[in-house]
Amino acid sequence: MTREVLALTDRMKGRDWLMTQDWVDDEIELVLNTANQLKTDFKTGVQTLHLPHKTIFLIFFDKSTRTRNSFEAGITQLGGHGHFIDSATSQIAHGESPKDMGIILSSYGHGIAIRHDTVPGEGQAYMREVAEWATVPVINMQCDVDHPCQTLADLMTIREEFGKDLRDLKIAVSWAYAPSYVKPMSVPQGLIMLMTRYGMNVTLAHPPEYTLMEEPMRLARENTMRSGGNFEVVDNMEEAFADADIVYPKSWGPESLYGNPEEAMKVAAQYRHWICDEPMMSKAKQKAIYMHCLPADRGSEVVDAVIDGPQSRVYPEAENRMHTAKALMALTM
């Protein structure tokens, strides 16, 4: 390693990763470079015991497949151990304070990771309160505002496809219909905040009821001013997909209706035609790729012919979740 990289690596130790926007460009580059190396090592069978006997506590306020397993598998491959904590079956459910939990778990291990994404106005604030009192790194596994582990994996996947220079590429971040439940806004918000840092042309598309939080929108505009590219908001999926290099159609709920899922589903039902099917994909560039954080509502958000087709990158994208999670833990813990 060069002296500069060593100094940067040292700077990462003990840091919280609560929003990607909190980290400067060279720190994000270090995470991605580390993730790439860890991925290569994993593929070639090289052991990566960078965190021997270290413990991270994984606190979940919501259900999970990729996030939980990427962190649990990742910490094991780094030589440590992950403790899964369900908030509903812990003393958190009885009102234990973030202060007490942060102090106590810090004395038991070496890192705390939290997923708290279902209630607007709560998740990011809760994580920051834990981090205020914790003496070990706190990692955001998804909150109401951002999903930094997912969007880092998304960026890693896009670079594997298009290279490091992403200027002038167009990514369409679009709402899509789903009948299952009112999904968080953190993935589209994380995407517009991160991709606008790289000079990309980011188009956000959604029906009028599905506006995102003002702070991520403000940050996306500021990032575009610094990096170049473009950030625009449109009200139809077709316009967003037109000539896009990357399409990322995903459902999320109206912020005002998270406490009223029945009403939210009634609103969503008006927009069943917001689906990523073959005619919609044909509006993007011929070599455009389809991405989704998963799980996708097949037949509603996307048709099988697209998600299982040659333009889909959902499985490499999901795989990269583990490598970016490993990089974050290895660098901060």
Question: Which tens digits make up the pLDDT trace of 126-161?
Answer: 999 999 999 999 999 999 999 999 999 999 999 999
Q: What is the pLDDT of residue 4?
A: 65
Residues 102, 134 contacting (CB under 8 angstroms) = yes
Q: What one-character DSSP code corresponds to residue 208?
A: G
Mean pLDDT of 245-250: 98
Pairing of strands 230-234, 201-205: parallel
The model's confidence at residue 181, banded by pLDDT at 50, 70 and 90, is confident
Is pLDDT at 2 greater than 80 in this prediction? no
CA distance 131 to 297: 34
Q: Report CA 198 to chain centroid distance, whole Å.
A: 16
Q: In terms of pLDDT, which residue wins out, 324 or 6?
A: 324
Whether omega before 295 lies within 30 degrees of 0, making that bond cis, reads: yes
Mean pLDDT of 296-302: 97
Task: Let me know if 161 is exposed, middle or buried by CB neighbors in 10 A (0-12, 13-18, 19+).
Answer: middle
CA distance 39 to 327: 10
CA distance 197 to 161: 18
Mean pLDDT of all residues in the chain? 96
Give the other-Cβ count within 10 Å of 175's Cβ: 27
Q: What is the pLDDT of residue 180?
A: 86
Mean pLDDT of 190-201: 98
Residues 33, 89 contacting (CB under 8 angstroms) = no
Is pLDDT at 13 greater than 70 in this prediction? yes
Q: What is the pLDDT of residue 96?
A: 96
- Structure tokens given for 165: 């220079």
Question: Which tens digits make up the pLDDT trace of 220-230?
Answer: 999 999 999 99
- Which ranges of the chain does DSSP label H, i.e. alpha helix? 3-12, 25-44, 66-77, 98-108, 123-133, 148-162, 186-195, 214-227, 237-241, 261-269, 278-281, 304-307, 314-332
Is pLDDT at 1 greater than 80 in this prediction? no
Q: What is the pLDDT of residue 60?
A: 98
Mean pLDDT of 190-217: 98
CA distance 158 to 244: 13
Q: What is the pLDDT of residue 208?
A: 97
Query: Counting runs of H as helices and runs of E as strands, what totals does the chain give?
Result: 13, 9
CA distance 68 to 221: 32
**CA 298 → CA 30, 63, 331, distances in Å?**
35, 19, 36
Question: Which tens digits make up the pLDDT trace of 60-94?
Answer: 999 999 999 999 999 999 999 999 999 999 999 99
The 3-state DSSP class for residue 138 equals: strand
Question: Which tens digits make up the pLDDT trace of 91-109?
Answer: 999 999 999 999 999 999 9
- Which residues are bridge partners to 298 per DSSP? 302
Q: What is the pLDDT of residue 259?
A: 87
Spell out the domains of the chain, with CATH numbers in brackets: 3-147+319-332 (3.40.50.1370), 150-317 (3.40.50.1370)
